[in-house]
Amino acid sequence: MSKDRRSIVVTVDGQSSTGKSSLACALANRLGMNFLGSGSIYRLCAYFMLRGKDLEAIKELLTESLAFKSTQGDMSVWVQGEDLTAKINDAQVTKMASDIAKDVAVRTQLADLQKGFQSGLGLVAEGRDMGTVIFPRATLKLFLTADVAVRAKRRKVQLEQMGLSPDYDQLVMELKARDHQDETRAISPLVPAKDAVFVDTAAHWDENLEQMYQQVLMVLPKQVMPKEVVQIFDQVRQDSMRYAQLGNVSDYERWWKGCSEASSKKFQGEIIGASWLCPIYVRDFIPDPINAHLSILQNTSAVEQAMLSVFIATKPSYERLFYVAALCGQYAVLSNRLLALQDIVG
């Protein structure tokens, strides 16, 4: 497999209200990849068509200003800086989106728009035909399912959070009808790709995300690092653990200053062909109570956020790699989870 993560595409297809959008968007954020919510694109088309715009104008607008955001399990859809999430989920827009999704001409025109999201550091694409039609050669294809009762409850909560007042029984009937419509339509029916990995999303949201994330980790290319780098990474991590356990901030900072200067002289520049992963990110992380009292590690969220920011926001470099090694030492003291170098660089 190529070492270039820009070629990686993860598709997330599945039934309505299985949590596809929020899970796929959060997965993309966690991996530092682009996100495509194809269902939202059809809803946006319906929304703007109801306001008199033609398809070409809508495509141009979405190409220039469409953005997806994920916060604490919620995915929101923004166009020209406006959050349209609630507006594109009302009943009128939902019905029209379903109708235009059956139109061959519309689906054909929107296919190019969707494929255009494949850039940057890879793509997580969510929808109903991502793995079968839009990205048939995707690196990994996930297919999400859940019992209709679970999905109806989830949809009810989602709509209530948007200020709407849905009826549960009505939602069950609508979801069953939507399933039948999606699975039997002539154009791009909802069917799992032959090589899809099934994910039952009846579990807690965090558990579902972790399950999907672990599937992605198995297919991501790994960077082979020089043996000397591995040895220094391990040494920095071990030293960091030792100083963290002593709990003296001044000693820790003094150690890190000398360690950083020494490693910077020995290794310089960007690590070619590598990009950070985020294996340490666990929502609601609870530190090991035995070590939670250590003054140097009181703010556990700060350690997590520091690691996450390094993984997502920086280019891989030896300077940053050894900084991550030091953070891994702190994390090991807090969590009893010892991360190796192969867990960090992809």
For the segment 13-51, what is each residue's pLDDT rounded down to a tens digit? 999 889 898 899 888 877 778 899 999 999 999 999 999
Locate all alpha helices (DSSP H) within the chain, ordered by sequence. 20-31, 38-49, 55-65, 91-100, 104-115, 148-161, 168-184, 205-219, 227-246, 249-266, 300-313, 318-335
CA dist list (Å): 28 to 11, 70, 120, 175, 237 = 11, 9, 12, 26, 28
**CATH number, domain at 28?**
3.40.50.300
Rounded mean pLDDT, 281-301: 52
pLDDT digits (tens, 9 = 90+) for 246-258: 888 899 999 999 9
- Give the full edge-to-edge strand order of the sheet including 74-79: 66-71, 74-79, 82-83
Q: Is the same domain home to 194 and 294? A: no
Closest CA to 90 of 124, 51, 125, 58: 51
Q: Is the same domain home to 180 and 310? A: no
Q: Is the same domain home to 42 and 77? A: yes
Q: What pLDDT is stored for residue 167 in this prediction?
A: 93
Q: What pLDDT is stored for residue 266 in this prediction?
A: 87
pLDDT over 90 (residue 281): no
The tally of domains found in the chain comes to: 2
Binding-site positions for ATP read 14-22
**In the chain, what percentage of residues exceed pLDDT 90?**
41
Give the separation between CA 46 and CA 65, rounded to whole angstroms: 17
Rounded mean pLDDT, 229-243: 93
The last residue of one of the domains, among 184, 219, 254, is 219
**In the chain, what percentage of residues exceed pLDDT 70?**
83
- Token duo for residue 9: 């595409």
Per-residue pLDDT band for 276 (boundaries 50, 70, 90) equals low
Q: Is the same domain home to 59 and 140? A: yes
The last residue of one of the domains, among 219, 244, 269, is 219
Q: What pLDDT is stored for residue 283 in this prediction?
A: 42
Q: Which residues contact 310 (CB under 8 A, 6 or more apart)?
A: 276, 320, 323, 324, 327
Q: Is 138 left (phi over 0), alpha (psi -120 to 50) or beta?
A: beta
User: Poorest-confidence range of 38-42, 64-68, 172-176, 306-310?
Assistant: 306-310
Q: Is the same domain home to 148 and 77? A: yes
Q: Is the same domain home to 210 and 258? A: no
* ∠ Cα 339 10 135 (to 5°): 160
The last residue of one of the domains, among 219, 241, 256, is 219
Query: Amino acid letter at 73?
Result: G
- Helical axes 55-65 vs 38-49, angle rounded to 10°: 130
Q: Is the same domain home to 255 and 211? A: no
Q: Could you tell me which residues are beta bridge partners of residue 68?
A: 77
The domain containing residue 241 runs over which residues?
Answer: 227-343
Binding-site positions read 14-22
pLDDT digits (tens, 9 = 90+) for 174-199: 999 989 988 888 888 889 999 999 99
Q: Is the same domain home to 56 and 162? A: yes
Q: Is the same domain home to 210 and 71? A: yes
CA 236 and chain centroid, separation: 30
Q: Are strands 140-145 and 9-14 parallel, antiparallel or unpaired?
A: parallel
Please provide the average confidence, as pLDDT, over all residues in the chain. Answer: 84
Q: Which residues contact 264 (CB under 8 A, 6 or more apart)?
A: 318, 319
pLDDT over 50 (residue 285): no
Q: Is the same domain home to 90 and 165? A: yes
Q: Is the same domain home to 255 and 323? A: yes
Q: Is the same domain home to 196 and 289? A: no
